Chains A and B, each alone.
Chain A
């Protein structure tokens, strides 16, 4: 086996233009071995263009790309032996049966996974004799994923891996991606599903208009700039002056609606203790107390000002 590369994906200052449109603009990415990087962004953000440059289908106009230590535009043939690719929308001979298509891709590898097992795992056994063009969108997607992993790659690119899949299939695919990572496979995936990014990714890059607008772990991104809020329920019309005095300066406590209270400020364990101590002092049982975090969706909307699913 070839020696493993610690940073299988290095993208530096990459720009790609199509005519007058700049699809990707000065993008930097790095993925460490056995990590999952999710490229998150609305349609047309530049996710697929980025992935296709990494796969060697497109060449960047500026910047450099190193995949497993190789330049994908130059060492394309050698690179393709070691990576697995799931193209957006799949791809296959229209008249070939699903099973034949996977057998074909498996035949390119010296030591592939068992295609029949993979078909069964992805719920495709019943569709094995169905021609590619007659598969449903979700089945084509699952077959495309099977084709991407059947050759035991060390790095896989998954372009919208669960698009068009039902909930059950999505869970299997998430499990599979998790299993790949656990076994040492590096994964770059694109998605416009926040739950998927949150669930699978070690690192996230939010792309908008070809620019990386935010990077980090899902937890970092969700905590980022978040003015946390503490909410609780209690009898209405409580006097909050004692609470405000007890809290550090700049914190705000208010009754949003009768019986619904809100404390705004950076919520840490001390603040939580202060609030509960005040409850004890005024002899109030606060129920439904919770620290609100922003969802990834909130973060995304804040950063891009756009709905994700366009």
Chain B
């Protein structure tokens, strides 16, 4: 073979393989991951429109007896549901399809450190959760919710912990099974998690409809624990039991994800 008449000027491809600084790699990674999260219509439906619709609908429609301030009753659990949507369901599905299309293996063959892939995704999820919380909180306030500042601060800590736990669960699910199966399971679990969260909620106000045993079992699940802990936080009370349950789920899922997560 010849190198005459090559269309590329000599020196075009002269090697100079130097990696970019880690912060700029991470920034690029975060930017694209965030763009992908915010551009995905189905994700937005799940992470923004459904929670907002639920909050507005449940607050304004006279269904059931949920005390005098319905916005205060519904804002925290719907924030919890929004966390689950983004960190768990959305994340699991996105990761599963990234794997299906070879994105993670592709990135695993570049200078980006492997932890950078997870960090980019996590930062994007945290950002979306932050935006959701602000948006839902503002709508809640508009509907008459008046949380205390300390309650909001405690709530932010619980949301952070919940994001960690559900993101770890999402990575575990999305990182181990086939994309179609993840799609089905992640959506199904969204309903299950919503229901389990609702169990802790209803028992608070209706008393007696849900038995203590069922309620206790619900609080052992990650969504029950998050909903309960967030609800308590907003009334400036610390649900240590819920925090412990969430931390345990998060740690266990993270360990399993580290062990079984697959790039392809």
Given contacts A81-B18, A107-B24, A151-B110, contact A93 B101 (CB under 8 A): yes
Residues from chain B with Cβ under 8 Å of A4 in the complex: 15
Given contacts A105-B110, A107-B24, A179-B8, contact A1 B13 (CB under 8 A): no
CB within 8 Å of B: which A92-129 residues: 92-96, 100, 103-105, 107-111, 113
Given contacts A153-B15, A154-B15, contact A176 B110 (CB under 8 A): no
Whether the pair A90, B15 counts as a contact (CB closer than 8 A) is no
Whether the pair B106, A90 counts as a contact (CB closer than 8 A) is yes
B111 close to chain A: CB less than 8 A = yes
Given contacts A133-B101, A175-B8, A200-B1, contact A153 B17 (CB under 8 A): yes
How many contacts A-B (CB < 8 Å)?
A: 139
**In the bound complex, what is the Cα–Cα distance between A216 and B48 (angstroms)?**
61
Range class of the A interface residue count: 35 or more
Expressed in whole angstroms, the minimum distance between the Cβ of B117 and any Cβ of chain A is 11
B160 close to chain A: CB less than 8 A = no
Given contacts A178-B1, A181-B3, contact A94 B103 (CB under 8 A): yes
A265 close to chain B: CB less than 8 A = no
Residue on A nearest B15 in the bound complex, by CB: A154
Q: Which residues of B contact A (CB under 8 A)?
A: 1-3, 6-8, 10-21, 24-25, 27-29, 32, 35-36, 39-40, 97-98, 100-103, 105-106, 108-114
The 3 A-B residue pairs with the shortest CB-CB distance in the complex, in nearest-first order: A91-B102, A91-B106, A107-B28
Q: Which residues of A contact B (CB under 8 A)?
A: 1, 4, 55, 57, 77, 80-83, 85, 87, 89-96, 100, 103-105, 107-111, 113, 132-133, 144, 147, 149, 151-154, 172, 175-176, 178-185, 199-201
Known: A100-B32, A108-B110. 13 other contacts (CB 8 A): A91-B101, A92-B101, A93-B32, A94-B97, A107-B27, A108-B112, A147-B106, A151-B111, A153-B15, A175-B7, A175-B8, A179-B13, A183-B11
